[in-house]
Amino acid sequence: MVRELKTFLAIARCGSFAAAGQKIGLTQSAVSAQIKNLESALGLRLFDRTGRSAHLNAAGQRALPLAEQIIETFALMGRPETLDEYRGALRIGAISTVQTGLLPSVLLRLLEEAPGVEPKLVPGVSLNLLSLVDSGDIDLAIMIRPPFALPKELHAELIQREPFVLITPIDLPGDDPFALLVEQPFVRYDRNSFGGRQVSRFLRKHHLDVRPGLELDELDAIVKMVESGLGVALVPRAGLWLERPPTVRILSLGSATFHRELMLVSRHANRQLPLHQLFRQCLTPALTEIERPARGASRA
């Protein structure tokens, strides 16, 4: 019955039998057959179907958290209790700057401690990664703190605060970040992203009417556009561009500085697993290595 419960959860998340079948690799008829078996075993209907959509009825809504709990418990039964016994994949979600900045040294330490682990990196934007952790498609993710409360099944812990700075072309004169924001074209951090929303709030708070320019969701691409002379940008101080010789000027926002908070997100049921605890332990020295040069640069 575990198979049927997984199919039930897939339909609840996808909203239709057809979409759930595509996600888990079953035909629509196979999905229908599994749900029929589950409903027969329980003696009640779980979905109201309207056209191609399938919506949980009252019984289905009551069953949903119980089904999630059963699947999580079943998964724990097959997981080893010690790192020496662990063999298999650890699915790690990460935003782009974490992939290139923080994660390589974390993975190196992880493999030294648990050589049987097979890390699988899943890139994505924060909203997508949050959904993947929630659905169980990845084990954990390093992402930007969302501007809303997490589902109760998820646990998030703060691992790093990255200050936003103004970056300008290397030869652009002027040291007042507020004046430069108004005077120069603005290369915007995608306003639909979690970090981009913070930029929008900052601009509204300080009543800054910026000149419209490009809008991008990749920080390295934003830095490249500013480097090429296409404008100025507000970005978190994070990513590979900090490790290269300076190609842009970095101006502090002073007392107006705001921060992007990086969170490690996982399901509550998995937090105490040895491998998840080891991953957290590997994060600490990697964060220290990143913060040390950043502190030095801030004093310069």
Same-domain check for residues 213 and 138? no
Same-domain check for residues 172 and 243? yes
Statement: residue 66 has pLDDT above 50: yes
Note down the domain range covering 243. 161-260
Examine residue 298 and state whether it is found in any structural domain, yes or no.
no
Q: Given this model, what pLDDT does residue 294 score?
A: 52
Same-domain check for residues 266 and 156? yes
> CA dihedral defined by 104, 108, 110, 115, rounded to 10 degrees?
140
Q: Given this model, what pLDDT does residue 299 score?
A: 41
Examine residue 300 and state whether it is found in any structural domain, yes or no.
no
Tell me the whole-structure pTM to 2 decimals: 0.72
pLDDT tens digit string along 119-169? 999 999 999 999 999 888 899 999 999 989 988 889 999 999 999 999 999
CATH code, 6:
1.10.10.10
Same-domain check for residues 129 and 278? yes
Same-domain check for residues 265 and 154? yes
114 pLDDT tier (thresholds 50, 70, 90) = confident
Counting the structural domains of the chain, the total is: 3
pLDDT tens digit string along 256-273? 999 999 999 998 878 877
Statement: residue 79 has pLDDT above 90: no
295 pLDDT tier (thresholds 50, 70, 90) = low
Q: Given this model, what pLDDT does residue 251 score?
A: 97
298 pLDDT tier (thresholds 50, 70, 90) = very low
Same-domain check for residues 23 and 70? yes
Quote the mean pLDDT of the chain: 88
Statement: residue 83 has pLDDT above 70: no
Statement: residue 19 has pLDDT above 70: yes
Same-domain check for residues 234 and 165? yes
Statement: residue 289 has pLDDT above 90: no
Examine residue 166 and state whether it is found in any structural domain, yes or no.
yes
Same-domain check for residues 26 and 114? no
pLDDT tens digit string along 228-259? 999 999 999 988 788 888 899 999 999 999 99
80 pLDDT tier (thresholds 50, 70, 90) = low
290 pLDDT tier (thresholds 50, 70, 90) = low
Same-domain check for residues 278 and 142? yes
81 pLDDT tier (thresholds 50, 70, 90) = low
CATH code, 287:
3.40.190.10
- Between CA 106 and CA 152 the distance in angstroms is 27
Statement: residue 216 has pLDDT above 90: yes
- pLDDT greater at residue 299 or residue 8: 8
